Amino acid sequence: MKDAPPDRPRRLLFQDEGRFGRINDTRRCWAPLPVRPVVGQQIVREYLYGFVAVSPFDGACTSLILPWADTQTMTLFLRHTAREFRDSFCLMLLDGAGWHHARDLALPDNLRLLFLPPYSPELNPVEHVWEYLRENHFGNDTFATLEEVGQRLCEGLRTLADQPALVRSLTCFDWLNTIRLSSNYYQNVPACPLIPADPQGRAAVPCPVHNGPWQVWQPGIRGVPVRSAPWQAVQFDVGSASPARWTAGG
């Protein structure tokens, strides 16, 4: 954060990837007595990967659904996140997956990575996002195609994007309120490292960290297909209900 522009608001992000596929998630459910509920079960090893970054303090989030997780798809997601939060300088906390450390990982100018301690998923609030999606959108359902999985995941991500208060309740852990992005890095910072309040005071609420004004901001969520990628993919635009299939170079 030392190289962050002094006049640019700071934003804390947490990032993670989740795998969703056609091996269904069997969970408990309600049924009237004496009925014993019967749910479908299947094991089909086809998967998609959801990439999500959340801003716990205001509930803003951004996401992509991609065919697998590697250095190239991670670079694509970082580029997408940097564009969604283009007005902020972002510090992204994430785990130590191999593609997060890769030499070929391209890092945008307004984003820096900070790695969580090894074997500590409980420190990553995005784990609660995955649990919410599996509990409320995937439990006890079977899917005939991978496209159906992608559409259901799109629906869940749109639900979260439309409810920043819900995202904040899932991800803003108590210990996060002790973090000051200005500590030991820079001086003469604004009252809050997040998005400053509107000059006219609209949509401004007290910041839980700095007791200063900040503005709740909800970004749009959309897919960013990059046609130079050397693989065939199914790109799901979470801003719409239908997946768009495209081929590299097509």
Q: Helix, strand, or coil here: 231?
A: coil
> How do residues 16-32 score in pLDDT, each as one tens digit?
999 999 998 888 888 89
CB 192 within 8 A of CB 207: yes
**In this predicted structure, which of 90-99, 116-125, 167-176, 195-204 has the lowest mean pLDDT?**
195-204
Domains of the chain, by residue range, sit at 10-246
Say yes or no to pLDDT of 194 above 90.
no
Give the pairing of strands 60-66 and 47-55. Answer: antiparallel
Per-residue model confidence as pLDDT tens digits over 26-72: 888 888 999 988 888 899 999 999 999 999 999 999 999 999 999 99
How does residue 83 score in pLDDT terms, banded at 50, 70 and 90?
Answer: very high
Q: What is the average pLDDT across 210-224?
A: 33
Mean pLDDT of all residues in 99-122? 94
Q: What percent of the chain has pLDDT over 90?
A: 57
The residue with greater pLDDT, 166 or 229, is 166
The pLDDT of residue 192 is 36
Using an 8 Å Cβ cutoff, are 46 and 123 in contact?
Answer: no
Pairing outcome for strands 89-94 and 10-21: parallel
The pLDDT of residue 211 is: 39
pTM of the model: 0.71
Is domain 10-246 in CATH 1.10.1450.10, yes or no?
Answer: no
DSSP reduced 3-state for 64: strand
For the chain, counts of helices (H) and of strands (E) = 4, 9
Helix (H, G, I), strand (E, B) or coil at 58: coil
- Given a contact cutoff of 8 angstroms between Cβ atoms, the answer to whether 31 and 37 are in contact is yes
Tell which residue, 226, 120, 201, 221, has the closest CA to residue 161.
221
* Cβ neighbours of residue 89 closer than 8 Å, sequence gap 6 or more: 1, 4, 5, 8, 9, 10, 11, 110, 111, 112
Q: pLDDT for 117-145, tens place per residue?
A: 999 999 999 999 999 999 999 988 899 99
DSSP 3-state of 37: coil
pLDDT reported for residue 24: 85
pLDDT at residue 190 greater than cutoff 60: no
Beta strands 111-115 and 204-206 are: unpaired
Cis? peptide before 34, omega within 30° of 0? yes
